[in-house]
Amino acid sequence: MQEITYKSCSIILAPNPSVMTGPGTNTIVLGGGIEGATVVDPAVDQREYLETVIHAGAARGCIRRILITHGHADHIGGALALREMLGVHIYAASRRGLPFADCELPDGMLIPAGDECLRVIATPGHRFDHLSFLLEESRTLIAGDLLAGTGTVVIIPPEGNLQEYLASLHRLQQLDLNEIIPAHGPIIKDPQQRLADYIAHRLEREQQILTTLQQVAATIEPGMTIPAIVQQIYHDIDPQLHMMAGKSVLAHLLKLEGEGRVKCHEHERWSLLP
Ligand SMILES: [Zn+2]
């Protein structure tokens, strides 16, 4: 089991590599001392992995709580087993996002983390219930799936919302971060640059969609379907990924619709609004 120590955090790589999770989920154990340790995102129900997590917690005086960044399977898979083994509570944004959570975490709440505090930062977008956790002194952010050390972050409506996602990225820009520990891939050591890149990438994609819709604005039948937009914009990717790309285009279109810039017609055809 791969385990590294970064500043005050132990990072254990869960044995769940895949196309969607990259090398696997980073499970983080931090804090300790009189208030006990905290584990973030116990990802899979696998004995050797959970024992590694418990061992990392024991070295810090025992795990007292389980935090969940969001209710996707690759972040919660080991939570129930770990709760059973340790008799501790599971904390998540809401029971709507995670029905088996014991406690809900409001934005801004402080959680003991050894010599410093962990602040709950509500960062919806990738999923409606997404939380990040900020180590207040070291300015290290545990970012779940808001950013990825490798690969890309998918926003799939209706549980994902691009407008909220961009607002969450802008919120992180205000936090004076030193580094970001993502749930997948290596630690991000240039957070400001990476946040700016993420925002720029989404806005560039949005502009491509607007330009594509502009090209058909003059034709008789109103608008374009999402598969047609994907054909235009993602001509350089594997056709197997077109379904995923279509969901991303939908996320953009819903954001633009919310801003009154595009309209959805019959037969799911989209066009620009004047
Ligand atoms: Zn996720």
How confident is the model at residue 241, as a pLDDT? Answer: 85
How confident is the model at residue 261, as a pLDDT? Answer: 96
In this predicted model, what pLDDT tens digit does every residue of 128-156 receive, in sequence order? 999 999 999 999 999 999 999 877 899 99
How confident is the model at residue 165, as a pLDDT? Answer: 98
In this predicted model, what pLDDT tens digit does every residue of 249-272 receive, in sequence order? 999 999 999 999 999 998 889 999
Position 218 confidence tier, pLDDT thresholds 50, 70, 90 = low
How confident is the model at residue 222, as a pLDDT? Answer: 79
Ordered domains of the chain (ranges, CATH):
3-189 (3.60.15.10), 198-272 (1.10.10.10)
- Span from the CA of 150 to the centroid of ligand 1 (angstroms): 14
**Is the pLDDT assigned to residue 188 strictly greater than 80?**
yes
Residue by residue, DSSP assigns the chain as --EEEETTEEEEE-S--BTTTBT-PEEEEEE-GGG-EEEE------HHHHHHHHHHHHTTT-EEEEE-S---HHHHTTHHHHHHHH--EEEES-TTT-TT-SEE--TT-EEEETTEEEEEEE--SSSTT-EEEEETTTTEEEEETSS-SSS-----TTT--HHHHHHHHHHHHTT--SEEEESSSS-BS-HHHHHHHHHHHHHHHHHHHHHHHHHHTTSSS--B-HHHHHHHH-TTS-GGGHHHHHHHHHHHHHHHHHTTSEEE-GGG-EEE--
How confident is the model at residue 237, as a pLDDT? Answer: 83
- Span from the CA of 233 to the centroid of ligand 1 (angstroms): 25
- Span from the CA of 258 to the centroid of ligand 1 (angstroms): 23
- Span from the CA of 72 to the centroid of ligand 1 (angstroms): 5
**Is the pLDDT assigned to residue 105 strictly greater than 90?**
yes
In this predicted model, what pLDDT tens digit does every residue of 17-55 receive, in sequence order? 998 899 999 999 999 999 999 999 999 999 999 999 999
- Span from the CA of 144 to the centroid of ligand 1 (angstroms): 7
- Span from the CA of 145 to the centroid of ligand 1 (angstroms): 5
- Span from the CA of 126 to the centroid of ligand 1 (angstroms): 7
- Span from the CA of 160 to the centroid of ligand 1 (angstroms): 10
For the chain, give the percent of residues with pLDDT over 70: 98
